[in-house]
Structure 1
Amino acid sequence: MDVELLKTLLAHATPARSGDALAGVIAPDAASRVAAQRRLADTGLLEILETPLIDPDRDEVSALILAQHDAAAFAPIRAWSVGDLRDWLISDAADPEAIATLQWALTPEMAAAVAKISRNQDLIAIAAKRPVVSRFRTTVGLPGRLSVRIQPNHPTDDARGVAASILDGLLFGCGDAVIGINPATDSPEATVRLLRLIDELRTGLDAPIQSCVLAHVTTAIAVMERGAPVDLVFQSIAGTQGANRSFGIDLAILREAHEAALSLQRGTVGQDCMYFETGQGSALSANAHHGIDQQTLEARAYAVAREFQPLLVNTVVGFIGPEYLYDGREITRAGLEDHFCGKLLGLPMGVDVCYTNHAEADQNDMDNLLTLLGVAGVNFVMGVPGSDDVMLNYQSTSFHDAAYIRRVLAKRAAPEFEAWAQGMGLFDAAGFLVPEDGAALLADARFDRLLRAARLEIAA
């Protein structure tokens, strides 16, 4: 198939969104979109494999996608069309083990193509059948479990404000995915200070949690060389070499960071030590989209992520703004697409259920998406004090939202964290928050020592 024809087919088959309109690749009307979806459903998986969207000699992400492909695993579905794959995925024959065998047979473009011809319920039902488990100090992604990242951001990286947000999250049973801080400054000094703050809180409470300061990967490498207590290495990634270059990275830098973090061996139940964030529209915003629609480019970013066996992958779905996902409907669809494609490609997917204040969305839209993702088996979501990130200036999900979704869907925390929280009096025997909202923890001597340690850190 001609590469430009495949790009057009993928783009026109995508449910409408503002980013594709901005890029000039959107279907001209609904009839054209349906026609593209029908033709895409009849397109062979082999045709997609043999038609790289970007020349692999000019784009290392494309080269990586081809290098990752497992021809032996692909052989049983080599003659299938995109529609055949979709029909099989929703069938009873596609149980978790069967879907997992296709992890390296499928390319990101194949996963994206299936998403484009699927209804929301298909995206939910298929993803729910594909648990992906990762491990560091906690085991994330087990069936029946839902983890939460505490996101204790502060506009000035103030230790008191960060510590208060962490403690608030712990009292709600959050933090089993990671305590992850977006630093206000990317300096090594600030990164080390925040890492030590979290590590002191962790050891003071003897809690099975992992930390991450979401500084640039090169900053993480620098502070690891200084002996800083780095658990997870973070980086934003995208689906083209040019977009990754705009982030100041390439595959070689990611490999260096991964090897450095692995060498520290700081995990207890596993050594999955990378944390990646993605989001539809990043390649377009970097002017590195090559005429490809943003959902396909997002799926290509997952090829980068799965190369490094991460603990967490998080699509920050509504963060870039309404230029890329205009309203609650577009954000909801994108969140389900991203989670579906990531799971299909074998990634431990979480979603930052979020929007910016100038988008045509509100917290009710986020309630809807959070609930849909919970049904779909999302690995983790965000826990932000009051849903309002005062440093990044966007709206996400709160500690209260995490308690809601766990309760209504009977989802529990990661097993190691659950056992700790039960011992601290936070969770009852069933794994849910006790009615006292953590009063037992407040009375615990270790918690009192934790508070004193935080005050000493601030005084120092």
Structure 2
Amino acid sequence: MTYATVIGGTRHVFASLRELLAKASPERSGDQLAGLAAEGPVERLAARIALADLPLRAFLEQDVMGVEGDEVTALIFARHDPGAFAPVAALTVGEFRDWLLSPAADERALAALRWGLTPEMVAAVSKLMRIQDLVAVASKVKVVTRFRNTLGLPGRMATRNQPNHPTDDSRGILASAVDGLLLGTGDAVIGVNPATDTVEDYIRIVSLLEELRLTLDIPTQHCCLGHVGVALEAMGQGAPVDLVFQSIAGTQQANTGFGLDLALLHEAREAALALNRAPAGANVMYFETGQGAALSAGAHHGMDQQTLEARAYAVAREFDPLLVNSVVGFIGPEYLYNGRQILRAGLEDHFCGKLLGLPMGVDVCYTNHADADQEDMDSLLITLVAAGVNFVITVPGADDIMLNYQSLSAHDAVFVRETLRRPPAPEFEDWLVGMGVMDCGGRTSDGAALVERLRGVPMLAAAQ
């Protein structure tokens, strides 16, 4: 089936829904690299006009990607709820945008809708939206998750404390983690990206983080961001695993490249729940995604990177995660060239994930060879806070010395708390006040009680 529109006497024809979605996307270096992008602003506008007139039902009548046997596609169709879809079933994509921006699309209506939407639908409507539209709609969506604290509550923003170290040195990890705690970060998770991916190192890291948590009685959860297969082996050996992590993508071929399938993720989730480390009903999975992941693996099947990113969220929501975040600028300028593209993509990812019912965070970041800087990240952070982002990632000095990219610092979290008035999770907030890291007015203090607790503890004293 073809799709067409006329602009200025010129007829623009799009040979497939897949092509229409790609040509309607905002300018993106990854789509240009893949040869999928619109030739220019006129063709992009033509694609958006045609997309706006497309019935939402069209996404249920065909497999947009068109790859036989793809388990992500099968999952999307299997989980679609016609009853939840009914309130918007008669709308076009453009009318759906108008409805999302209307008072009728309140928090309750959006929560009821989430299983009626497919990733392709939310990707399509995001392509018609301005920045303020993405913020306005996402800010109405609340997704609350729980482990040892409560994340996603209205008016709050959590942080991941990311104490990475280039050699996974235990003292270095602890020093970085303590640095973040003294500035009030870590309620979403204290999570380490391991430099290696051995079972032995995985167990050592989660054991280290568990000792830190227990010693300081921190109401949070920890994670070693090793491969899900390594996590399964570690859990089999009795390792104190809180959250099971995995990077995921929007096609089966890309996930195969990550060394996983849906069955493996189900197995890992069941193993984590069986450890009984969290209260009943807690969320135990943590996923990361990023625009360009499938293209970088040669597994995009002719689809644009933003639509594929939304498809990854169908995988994530199958497992009821505690945390999901887009590492928006991490994959590099080959996929998001500059600060403008990174800002737009971060807000798209947050919007699409929230509409699909996910507890979305964003790693507000860029690589050193991208045309971006920390002022671009300031803009994205502030806009995400307005959009109601669940959490962001922080590293010492905004410079991850293991992954070699630029993110946010713990001082940025202080800015969010003190200037934008977004406190952390309530249980963690109480702990920060008790430790003297934060006063009752939300202002950062000297952490005198926490410093006192650190003294005389051999494990932590060595890291000071």
TM-score by length of 1: 0.96
Which residue of the other structure, out of 19, 39, 45, is the alignment partner of 1:34? 45
2:347 corresponds to which residue? 336
The verdict on how the C-alpha distance between 1:282 and 1:225 changes in structure 2, with shifts beyond 3 A counting, is same
Which residue of the other structure, out of 48, 54, 72, is the alignment partner of 1:61? 72
**Is 1:92 aligned to residue 99 of structure 2?**
no
1:76 deviates by 2.1
Cα contact 1:241–1:250 (8 A) shared by 2: yes
Which residue of the other structure, out of 299, 312, 317, is the alignment partner of 1:306? 317
Report the secondary structure of 1:197's partner residue: helix
Matching residue's letter, 1:215: G
1:124 deviates by 0.5
Matching residue's letter, 2:104: A
2:216 corresponds to which residue? 205
Counting only pairs closer than 5 Å after superposition, residues 205-224 of structure 1 correspond to structure 2 as 205-224=216-235
* Larger mean Cα displacement after TM superposition, 87-96 or 273-282: 87-96
2:25 corresponds to which residue? 14
Supply the distance in 1 between the matched residues of 2:460 and 2:366 (Cα, whole angstroms). Answer: 32
Supply the distance in 2 between the matched residues of 1:448 and 1:52 (Cα, whole angstroms). Answer: 60
Supply the distance in 2 between the matched residues of 1:167 and 1:153 (Cα, whole angstroms). Answer: 12
Q: Deviations over 1:107-156 (max 9, x none)?
A: 00000001000000000110000011111111111111100000100000
2:258 corresponds to which residue? 247
Supply the distance in 2 between the matched residues of 1:390 and 1:327 (Cα, whole angstroms). Answer: 22
2:455 corresponds to which residue? 448
1:393 corresponds to which residue? 404
Cα contact 2:417–2:442 (8 A) shared by 1: no
1:56 deviates by 6.6
Report the secondary structure of 1:101's partner residue: helix
* Larger mean Cα displacement after TM superposition, 54-63 or 244-253: 54-63
Matching residue's letter, 2:132: Q
Supply the distance in 1 between the matched residues of 2:188 and 2:365 (Cα, whole angstroms). Answer: 18
Supply the distance in 2 between the matched residues of 1:432 and 1:412 (Cα, whole angstroms). Answer: 10
Counting only pairs closer than 5 Å after superposition, residues 64-143 of structure 1 correspond to structure 2 as 64-143=75-154
**Is 1:259 aligned to residue 265 of structure 2?**
no
Supply the distance in 2 between the matched residues of 1:272 and 1:363 (Cα, whole angstroms). Answer: 32
Supply the distance in 1 between the matched residues of 2:280 and 2:264 (Cα, whole angstroms). Answer: 26
Matching residue's letter, 1:143: P
Unaligned residue ranges in structure 1 (runs of 5+): none
Which residue of the other structure, out of 308, 316, 319, is the alignment partner of 2:330? 319
Supply the distance in 2 between the matched residues of 1:418 and 1:353 (Cα, whole angstroms). Answer: 23
Matching residue's letter, 1:106: L
Supply the distance in 1 between the matched residues of 2:195 and 2:52 (Cα, whole angstroms). Answer: 46
**Is 1:439 aligned to residue 448 of structure 2?**
yes
Supply the distance in 1 between the matched residues of 2:266 and 2:66 (Cα, whole angstroms). Answer: 22
Matching residue's letter, 1:378: V
1:233 deviates by 0.2
Supply the distance in 2 between the matched residues of 1:75 and 1:376 (Cα, whole angstroms). Answer: 26
Matching residue's letter, 2:448: A
Q: Deviations over 1:33-79 (max 9, x none)?
A: 01111111110110112121234742000000001100111122111
Cα contact 1:57–1:63 (8 A) shared by 2: no
The verdict on how the C-alpha distance between 1:56 and 1:72 changes in structure 2, with shifts beyond 3 A counting, is farther
Report the secondary structure of 2:117's partner residue: coil
Report the secondary structure of 1:103's partner residue: helix
**Is 1:166 aligned to residue 177 of structure 2?**
yes
Counting only pairs closer than 5 Å after superposition, residues 361-440 of structure 1 correspond to structure 2 as 361-434=372-445, 437-440=446-449
Cα contact 1:413–1:431 (8 A) shared by 2: no
Supply the distance in 2 between the matched residues of 1:259 and 1:228 (Cα, whole angstroms). Answer: 15
Supply the distance in 2 between the matched residues of 1:319 and 1:26 (Cα, whole angstroms). Answer: 21
Cα contact 1:136–1:269 (8 A) shared by 2: no
Supply the distance in 1 between the matched residues of 2:84 and 2:174 (Cα, whole angstroms). Answer: 48
Supply the distance in 2 between the matched residues of 1:234 and 1:146 (Cα, whole angstroms). Answer: 21
* Larger mean Cα displacement after TM superposition, 398-407 or 320-329: 398-407
Supply the distance in 2 between the matched residues of 1:269 and 1:141 (Cα, whole angstroms). Answer: 18
The verdict on how the C-alpha distance between 1:36 and 1:55 changes in structure 2, with shifts beyond 3 A counting, is closer
* Larger mean Cα displacement after TM superposition, 76-85 or 26-35: 76-85
Supply the distance in 2 between the matched residues of 1:94 and 1:304 (Cα, whole angstroms). Answer: 25
2:6 corresponds to which residue? none
Q: Deviations over 1:149-180 (max 9, x none)?
A: 00100000011110011101001110000000
Supply the distance in 2 between the matched residues of 1:49 and 1:171 (Cα, whole angstroms). Answer: 50
Matching residue's letter, 1:454: L
Q: Which consecutive segments of 4 or more residues in structure 1 shift more than 4 A?
A: 1-4
Supply the distance in 2 between the matched residues of 1:280 and 1:200 (Cα, whole angstroms). Answer: 35
* Larger mean Cα displacement after TM superposition, 382-391 or 423-432: 423-432
Cα contact 2:31–2:304 (8 A) shared by 1: yes
Report the secondary structure of 1:157's partner residue: coil
Cα contact 1:240–1:289 (8 A) shared by 2: yes
Superposed CA RMSD in Å reads 1.4
1:232 corresponds to which residue? 243
1:273 deviates by 0.3
Unaligned residue ranges in structure 2 (runs of 5+): 3-13
TM-score by length of 2: 0.95
* Larger mean Cα displacement after TM superposition, 266-275 or 315-324: 266-275
Matching residue's letter, 2:402: M
2:196 corresponds to which residue? 185
Report the secondary structure of 1:102's partner residue: helix
* Larger mean Cα displacement after TM superposition, 42-51 or 264-273: 264-273
Which residue of the other structure, out of 264, 285, 294, is the alignment partner of 1:283? 294
Supply the distance in 1 between the matched residues of 2:402 and 2:67 (Cα, whole angstroms). Answer: 39
Supply the distance in 1 between the matched residues of 2:280 and 2:262 (Cα, whole angstroms). Answer: 27
Q: How many residues align?
A: 452
